[in-house]
Structure 1
Amino acid sequence: MSFCLMLRRETIDLHQILFLVFFRTGELLTHQSCECLEEILKGLQFEIIDLQETKLDENGASALLDMILYYESATYLNISSNQNIGGLGWLALSQLIQKSSCLVGLDASNMPLLECPARTLSRALQFSRLTVLHLENCYLTGRPLFTLISLNPALQELYLAGNGLNGSQDSMQLGDLVKYNCSLKLLDLRDNHISDTGTVYKYDSIKNDGNICKLTATVSCCLTFNLMN
């Protein structure tokens, strides 16, 4: 079994830090091969574990995510484009998000996030340490979006591009998200069908909140508000 391991050394404030990046992008990961990875995960902590488009199934995803949690193997996990992780996979991912003491970044883009997994994920996010979350192209609109609006207080960057967000209801929910997540600094809404009214609603929420630094949105063109000043 092959894998790609990248090591990068940097010196910061006279302390040498070893950065490890584990890549399996685009390779097939079966349940059996996931179990074989335990010896690697046991011995090393990775800056990034990249499992993008590895065709994980429900059992493989559940086993691998449980290992990543048990060994605290990563500070950033990319599990995007794995559409078949099923209920067990989403449950294991939610447990990882909620219980990990070192995971601060997650990319779960290009994976349909329906109401049931959205509810499970929402509960986990309330207690997680995540500061960066990518949920792009997840069909996250309507009720699943409503389920997820009570996000965690640590989140600083939220990427929701390409979710088909539209109408005043989605806009109101996003406005509430901005209001009640005081740590949020960046909200990416590119490639959504956001009306002028909806954009104004979110802009007013951001302006009144005073915390968020940047809103990136697409209406008919790419529109960016920089609210640093």
Structure 2
Amino acid sequence: SNDIGPDGIVALCDALRGNVTLTSLDLGGIRGINRNHVGGRGAEALGNLLATNAVLHSLDVSSNGLGLEGCGLVAAGLQQNHALRRLYLASNNIGPDGCRLLASVVQDCRLELLDLRRNSIGDVGAAHVAAAFKPGTDGGEAIVTLMLEHNEIREAGARALAPTVRTSQSLRHLYLSHNNMGPGLAVVFEALRDNRKLQSLHAVQTGIQEAEAKALAKSLEGGSGLEHLDISRNRMPDSAGVALFKALTHNGRLQHLNAAGCSLGNETATALASMMRYNKDLTSISLKQNLFSGAVGDVILEELKAHPHVRSLDLAYNDIPYLSQTGIHAALA
């Protein structure tokens, strides 16, 4: 965020053409401010740099107002680049057509991380991204981390992404948070049953309700490869929480679960306590800002004492008595 402008970007890219040592270039700005103002001229210079530079592994041009034109210029450079591994394009208003341009060149490069957060790509853009992962597209199958948060993706976009979740052999980390996908998430969660490669899924505030949570529970019970799951800030009934923790009783992979702010009540807390008797792998759990109350804190405490493999259990902002809370903290110490 130095407001170097297009002239500065052009000069910088000219200087880097013959550089064989710099591997990471961060031109990212603060979201919504576009402090480096790369613009069309700067994007053209970056595209030319990508087409010729064989050592740059990471490029961050987040929040630079690239738009569709700038995205196309960067994509053109990517088509001839086999060195870049991480590309951060968050908050550049590239829209669904920008995703189409990127998807067509991702097949030719070796990107491992693609950050498209806050780009208003919608369902159409999500479908374009998913197309890069279709069988036979070697470039898409190099992507390990895909970040699509805050993109106005709805049910249709989630359904378009589900085959990627089901079949990708490269994808390890998927960020879908803050997209109101609703029923489409059930299809994504069902796809997890066939995928043992995906390690982390971030689905904060995505419209998960009872049906979606139960689809997720079936996948967790069926042997999903997930190790980290964040489903916080999704309002779910207790029956959904109970289904999740019953499924986790038989899950031997998940290590970290965040279900904070999900409006879960005492039935879920009781299911959590029961799960701790059997699951030795889930060691970090956040259930803060839920609706637990009364003696359920003592039930959790007794199970925690008997089965001390849980190392982190966050129950803050629940109506659990102080003595139970302090006992839980002491058991975790």
| Counterpart check, 1:163 vs 2:262 | yes
Q: What is the aligned-residue identity percentage?
A: 20
Matches within 5 A, 1:70-81: 70-81=167-178
1:105 pairs with one of 200, 213, 228: 200
Structure 1's consecutive aligned runs of 4 or more residues displaced over 3 angstroms after TM superposition are 1-8, 38-42, 219-224, 226-229
- Equivalent residues of 2:205, 2:233 under 8 A apart: yes
Per-residue deviation, residues 122-148 of structure 1 (Å, max 9, x unmatched)? 111112011111110111341111222
- Equivalent residues of 2:229, 2:254 under 8 A apart: yes
After superposition, the CA RMSD in angstroms is 2.9
Per-residue deviation, residues 24-75 of structure 1 (Å, max 9, x unmatched)? 2122223433333256433143332111121112222211231343333410
The aligned length equals 217
The structure with the largest strand share of the pair is 1
- Equivalent residues of 1:215, 1:226 under 8 A apart: no
Structure scoring higher RCO (CA < 8 A, sep ≥ 6) equals: 1
How far is the alpha carbon of 1:7 from its aligned partner?
3.2
The structure with the largest helix share of the pair is 2
How far is the alpha carbon of 1:227 from its aligned partner?
4.8
| Counterpart check, 1:173 vs 2:271 | yes
Partner in structure 2 of residue 147 of structure 1: 243
1:217 pairs with one of 299, 315, 318: 315
Matches within 5 A, 1:182-221: 182-218=280-316, 219=318
Q: Distance in 1 between matches of 2:169 and 2:191?
A: 9
> Residues 180 and 38 (structure 1 numbering): CA distance in 2 closer, same or farther, change over 3 Å?
same
In structure 2, the gaps of 5 or more residues are 1-67, 79-83, 87-109
Instruction: Give the TM-score normalised by structure 2.
Output: 0.57
- Equivalent residues of 2:190, 2:215 under 8 A apart: no
Q: Distance in 1 between matches of 2:211 and 2:157?
A: 20
Larger Rg belongs to: 2
| Counterpart check, 1:37 vs 2:129 | yes
In structure 1, the gaps of 5 or more residues are 9-17
Partner in structure 2 of residue 15 of structure 1: none
How far is the alpha carbon of 1:105 from its aligned partner?
0.7
- Equivalent residues of 2:165, 2:188 under 8 A apart: no
